[in-house]
Amino acid sequence: MTALAHALWTRRAPILSVRDLHVTFRIRRGLFRPEAVLTAVDDVSFELRPGETLGLVGESGSGKSTLGRAVLRLLPHVKGRVTWLGQDLAKLTPEALRRLRADMQIVFQDPLASLDPRMTVGEIVAEPLRTFQPDLPKKELRSRVVGMLTRVGLGPEHLDRYPHEFSGGQCQRIGIARAMINRPKLVVCDEPVSALDVSIQAQIINLLMKLQREDGLALIFISHNLSVVRHISHRIMVLYLGRVAEVAERRALFREPRHPYTQALISAVPLPDPELERARRHLVLKGELPSPLNPPSGCAFRTRCPKATAICAAERPALEITEDGHSVACHHWRG
């Protein structure tokens, strides 16, 4: 995306606006011990526009999946403001929120586990239509299901088969068909290809991009695989221990990563050229991800950061937005 294209893109009105989102879980620690509070998402804000893909990356435990579910109001103990097409989701009645579910869907990580084994493929894909359009004639319902299966690379011959009869890639196509049958405006893809072979991953990614172009939907794509995120995303948000480390347009992030954590993640992505791979400098992170039950003071990344100084322990860095739209939360990103 060029600078001009990015400028034009950002002028489009967002369909989703997230402000100061916090997600906590209460952890029981045994008899006579007080409950602990685990902060999984800590003060996250972003916007998403029609037709845009926001990639969420970070190590396991960084809060990516929790953030995706919190946006859809699928979790308790969520604080902050999530605005969908101008409506604050926290202020909607349960019935009004249920009606919005047709526009906000999710594709899960495990293709087979996300499908009901007692239902046929036709029943699985038709279920959202029956929920949100109960008066739809049977002939029209079947026609839409067959049409959706065709769009994801399956066909009418698969209607009466059960999930266990399909491969992992085919099961994920069924899950995508189920999520897309009501033509939603937003789909959260929670590690949708991590359980698939590399060749199948590419097919599923290309399918999602094709459906996005055809329907103009927005995607939140969650993954720990930076190569996959780089291919599908327009913008990328890097999370560390529930906090935003960096946000930037895809090419800008890979060309000039500014946060030490982002630099380490990108350096771990192998290059296809063996000579370039041998010649490059790798940044190896030391230590493990701290426990969210007892996060470090100041900057959460300071315990593993080669640039950490006294100010990193004393003050939490603010997410600084630069003139080129690149956002970074680091005291020392300039040098």
pLDDT at residue number 329 = 96
Helix axes 198-215, 168-180, angle to 10 degrees: 20
pLDDT at residue number 268 = 82
pLDDT at residue number 270 = 74
pLDDT at residue number 169 = 94
pLDDT at residue number 285 = 82
User: What is the reported pTM?
Assistant: 0.92
pLDDT at residue number 273 = 62
Distance CA 249, CA 234 (A): 6
**CA-wise closest residue to 245 among 231, 266, 218:** 266
pLDDT at residue number 7 = 52
Residues of the chain with confidence (pLDDT) below 50: 1-4
265 burial via Cβ count (<10 Å: 0-12, 13-18, 19+): buried
Domains in the chain, start-ordered, CATH in brackets? 3-328 (3.40.50.300)
Please write the tens of the pLDDT for every residue from 117-133. 999 999 999 999 999 99
